[in-house]
Amino acid sequence: MPLNSTVQSVTDRIINRSKDSRQAYLDRMARAADQGPARAHLTCGNQAHAYAAMGQDKDTLLAERAPNLGIVTAYNDMLSAHQPYETYPQVIKAAARAQGATAQVAGGVPAMCDGVTQGQKGMELSLFSRDVIAMAAAVGLSHNTFDAAVFLGVCDKIVPGLVMAAASFGHIPTVFIPAGPMTSGLSNDEKTAVRKKFATGEVGRDELMKAEMASYHGPGTCTFYGTANTNQMLMEFMGLHLPGASFITPGTPLREALTTAAAERALAITALGNDFRPASQILDERTFVNGIVGLMATGGSTNLVLHLPAMARAAGIQLDIDDFSDLSSVVPLMAKVYPNGLADVNHFHAAGGLGFMIGELLEAGLLHPDTVTVAGDGLARYAQEPKLKDGALTWEDGAAESQNDKILRSASNGFATTGGLKSLDGNLGRGVIKASAVAPELQVIEAPVRVFPGQQEVKDAFRNGEFTEDTIVVVRFQGPSANGMPELHGLTPTLSVLLDRGLKVALVTDGRMSGASGKVPAAIHVCPEAAQGGPLARLRDGDMVRLDATTGTLDVLTADFDNRLPETADLSANQAGIGRELFESFRQNVGLATAGASPLF
């Protein structure tokens, strides 16, 4: 099947838009590669410091004939998704020794859990932690003693930050190694029902805690299809994982075999061998387009609409939200995984998972088939799935048909003909809406607004019974320069209850809503943000606003709107405490949400 014309045209305009910045990046990577990561450039004193603690590996390091892997790990045992990484460095080192090579932990990066900080002050550090992760990984790799890097990370900001670091060190190869999702716990519909009952006061905190603990119950990624699991999908579509590695649960023989194989593959693709695959070669325009296609086909997290532009900029590539919207218009929604459906990622994987989906999209001409990956040339390898046979790891063709068409469908028979993400543009600014789970009757909402400074005020108004008519809820001064752009995930149960009561409600915000926003129509990432004098700062209670996901428009209909002065907000409460004072320079220098909301690019 020839490549879809829209996929080709979007790719071409990204290439043209990025021509100068991409060439400058590639020139920089070529110079770094020419200098080489070989350890011979170090002085004897440098090398003595680098190898002092390496014991049995010292002689191999000094000989400089075998590659040395740098391990960058996001391990901590507070995050269920990252707890399995505790033992990975030893597995990787053993794999390297078996190949006559070496591996060292180059450094650790922070890894916060948005599930812990949702609705808390710490969430205001969440988005910027992505950029700190990129910087921390760069510090670890800056010793320049490594021939390749392996990255251990899964969750929301960790993978994007690590990809940014991988691009910055794009003169060496990079392999990402996942840890897998936890086994399935309490079903998502049961959990959602309890959350709604708690929001309305029908059950107490004890019942809510019981449900939450039954949902998030063991090592591994949370099983709903939020940002963490969207990241794992992305690493396969972008060719940075081994094929089929994303959704194998922790603590299984197959999981450990894949970790060993990832280390072996990283050793095989260094400049010391015959199959050199630096990260800069993998992270090109076609690879990022494939990642966006995967995002649309799976109905993934809107957080990646923030992260992908930042990741791409690290590789000299400039993405725009219209690229996401245009690709969404031709990519079918092939999966229904919570919050878009009732299934979790384990059910999705059992139904055929990413291997089936990639095979279908390649056959439909919706993916670039000729990308460079860590597994080899071309994306077709990623239509295969790993198996353990007699203790040996092998790959076989994935499922030719969906094993459950209520969860996963073919490209020709998707749940929807589009990916459901739309860019928005109008006199309220630019933003995006994820409409894949939004009912048809809620795709267009025209209603008066209620303006709030934060999500707690929305919850208070709900508890006071103030929502009695169709309403567009505006939560402003939630952008990156205001308070770090925390997720407003805590609004989901409240707004869902209002929808269940028959009201038409929507959210408009310069903040984030995350991959768990579900059925609530939400115009998010609106910029320029209110703190920078954007149009949202001129809204007043009662203004009529029209949010149209079908035409991609977001407009206020009040006649005197353009003549108003913007409101300002007292943001002093967001500037200090829980480490927020350390991020003042980030808030002052952050870019637009449409460009990735990064203070680094």
Query: What residue numbers does the annotated binding site for [4Fe-4S] cluster cover?
Result: 155, 222
Phi-psi category of 178—alpha, beta or left, where left has phi over 0 and alpha has psi -120 to 50? beta
Q: Decide: helix, strand or coil at residue 498.
A: helix
Rounded distance between C-alpha atoms, residue 74 and residue 217, angstroms = 20
Rounded distance between C-alpha atoms, residue 12 and residue 142, angstroms = 34
> 25 vs 36, 378, 441, CA distance in Å?
17, 23, 46
Using alpha carbons, select from 278, 281, 282 the residue that is nearest to residue 270.
Answer: 278
Using alpha carbons, select from 109, 32, 529 the residue that is nearest to residue 271.
Answer: 32
Rounded distance between C-alpha atoms, residue 492 and residue 329, angstroms = 26
Rounded distance between C-alpha atoms, residue 426 and residue 544, angstroms = 14
Q: How many CB atoms lie within 10 A of CB 180?
A: 26
Per residue, what are the HEC states of 54-72?
Answer: CHHHHHHHHHCCCCEEEEE
Map tokens 């019974």 to a residue: 465
Asked if residue 322 lies in contact with residue 309, where contact means CB atoms within 8 angstroms, the answer is: no
Contacts 24+ apart (CB under 8 A), 20-29: 21/313, 21/316, 21/317, 21/318, 22/285, 22/315, 22/316, 22/317, 23/316, 24/316, 25/167, 25/170, 25/280, 25/315, 25/316, 26/280, 26/316, 29/170, 29/171, 29/278, 29/280
* Tokens of residue 25, six digits: 């990046």
Asked if residue 50 lies in contact with residue 39, where contact means CB atoms within 8 angstroms, the answer is: yes
Using alpha carbons, select from 578, 599, 581, 577 the residue that is nearest to residue 590.
Answer: 599
Using alpha carbons, select from 318, 201, 188, 593 the residue that is nearest to residue 430.
Answer: 593
Q: Which residues contact 327 (CB under 8 A, 6 or more apart)?
A: 6, 7, 10, 289, 292, 293, 296, 419
Rounded distance between C-alpha atoms, residue 342 and residue 252, angstroms = 25
Task: Give the residues across from 75 on adjacent strands.
Answer: none
Query: How big is the chain by its Cα radius of gyration, in Å?
Result: 24
Using DSSP bridges, classify how beta strands 392-397 and 384-389 pair: parallel, antiparallel or unpaired.
antiparallel
> 77 vs 93, 125, 218, 221, 259, CA distance in Å?
21, 20, 11, 13, 19
Rounded distance between C-alpha atoms, residue 86 and residue 91, angstroms = 10
Name the binding residues.
155, 222
If you count DSSP H runs as helices and E runs as strands, how many of each does the chain have, helices first? 22, 14
